[in-house]
Amino acid sequence: MRCFIALDISEEVKHLLGQIPKLDESSTKITWVNPDNIHITLKFLGEIDDVKLKKVSESLSKINMPRFTLKTSNIGCFPNENHPAVLWLGIQESKFLLDVQKKIEGALNQLFQPEKKFVSHLTLGRIKFINDKNALQQYMKNLYVKECTFDVKEISLYRSDLTPQGPKYTKIQKFKLS
C-alpha cells in the first residue's frame, strides 16, 4: 500500500483554502486539490507492505513531542517560478515542526531513505500545462490568502489510493502529541 505521514490542518484552514479564487483555465490548467485532502506531508513512504507498516507504526508511537501551533504564510511553487509544477501555500518556520519532522526521519532511518529537503507547505494544486506564464505569475503575485493559525495535536499515518477522480486518503493511525 502507498503511505505517507502527515499533519492535518484545521477545518477553518480547509474552508479558507476552498475559497481561493481559481485561475482562468485558458491561460493555465491546474488540477486543484480538494481542501479536505490538504495536509502537511512530513514523510512520503511510498509502497510498503504490512510488515513495514507495523514497524512504521511502532516507531511513530515512540515519538514524544508537545502539541504546537502553526501559521500559514506565502504562496509559492515547486520547483520554481520559471518552471512551476505545484502551487502551494507555505507554513511559517517553526522549531516544533522541524523537530517533529527530524524525529520522524530519525525513527524511520533504518527503513527509509531520508528526505532530501523538507519544505513545509500545503499543496493547493498541480499545474498540468501553461499557455501564459505571465498570467500565472501575475495570479500568484496577486493572490492573497489570509494568514491563519491552527493547532497540531497529532501525527497521522495515511494510506493513499490513486483513483481516476484523484487520490483518496485514508487515515490508518494517529499518534497524539503530548
Indicate which residues carry an active-site annotation.
39, 121
Long-range CB pairs of 172-175 (<8 Å, 24+ gap) are 172/3, 172/53, 172/57, 173/57, 173/60, 175/60, 175/61, 175/63
Q: Coil, strand, or helix at residue 143?
A: coil
Phi-psi region of 116 (alpha: psi -120 to 50; beta: other; left: phi over 0): alpha
Phi, psi angles (nearest 5°) of residue 54: -65, -40
Residues 108 and 56 sit within 8 Å (Cβ to Cβ): yes
Q: Coil, strand, or helix at residue 77?
A: strand
